Amino acid sequence: VSNVKQAMDTYLNGLRNQHAVETQAIGTIQNELPRMKAYPELHSKMEADHERSVTQAARLDDLLEKHGSKKSLLKEAVTGAVATVAGFTHAGAGDEVLKNVLAAIGFKAYEISSYKVLLALADAAGAGDDKPILEQSMKEEQEMGDWLGSHIPSFVDAYLAQKSA
Ligand SMILES: [Fe+2]
């Protein structure tokens, strides 16, 4: 097995893993959205992130298809991931939205790094053409992570205001 072939196998596996990660994000956001209604700005940004995650997952699907990877098997794995995530329902702890924001920031950091890995693997696998697509998704993760991080003080204010209401 050549190095390039080996890199391609690793790359395709990485694309599949990231597809599962995006799918998990979709499920998590779906699950958390109803509890973010008291935070309108956060709610609409998370809705947009939900839509973006669907697009990001579709991009990964398209790349896999481009490299001849089967789509049908993938969809089954995806359904399973959503079901798993949807199973996490928390009782209404008051500060859970703040905890969700922190978790989301961590998740975004993980996703940014994952796309960095995929970019390096794409190079090694001779799939440099894929990079602009992966870079686009990485940029979106970065933007969302930055937005969440810079809005922490306003989330805390909104939480305190809600608590004293
Ligand atoms: Fe994502």
Instruction: Note the pLDDT tens digit of each residue in 26-72.
Output: 998 998 898 888 899 999 999 999 999 999 999 999 999 999 986 64
Q: Give distance in angstroms: CA of 90 to centre of ligand 1.
A: 23
Q: Which structural domain range is residue 110 located in?
A: 3-164
CATH of the domain at 17: 1.20.1260.10
Q: What are phi and psi for residue 5, nearest 5 degrees?
A: -60, -40
Given a cut of 80, whether residue 15 has pLDDT beyond it is yes
Q: Give distance in angstroms: CA of 62 to centre of ligand 1.
A: 15
**Is residue 138 very low, low, confident or very high in pLDDT (cuts 50, 70, 90)?**
very high
Q: Which residues 6+ apart lie within 8 Å of 35 measured at CB? A: 92, 96, 97, 100
Q: Give distance in angstroms: CA of 15 to centre of ligand 1.
A: 12
Q: Give distance in angstroms: CA of 25 to centre of ligand 1.
A: 7
Q: Give distance in angstroms: CA of 40 to centre of ligand 1.
A: 21
Q: Give distance in angstroms: CA of 165 to centre of ligand 1.
A: 34
pLDDT at 165: 77
- The structural domain count of the chain equals 1
Q: Give distance in angstroms: CA of 129 to centre of ligand 1.
A: 20
DSSP, collapsed to helix, strand or coil, labels residue 50 as helix
pLDDT at 74: 52
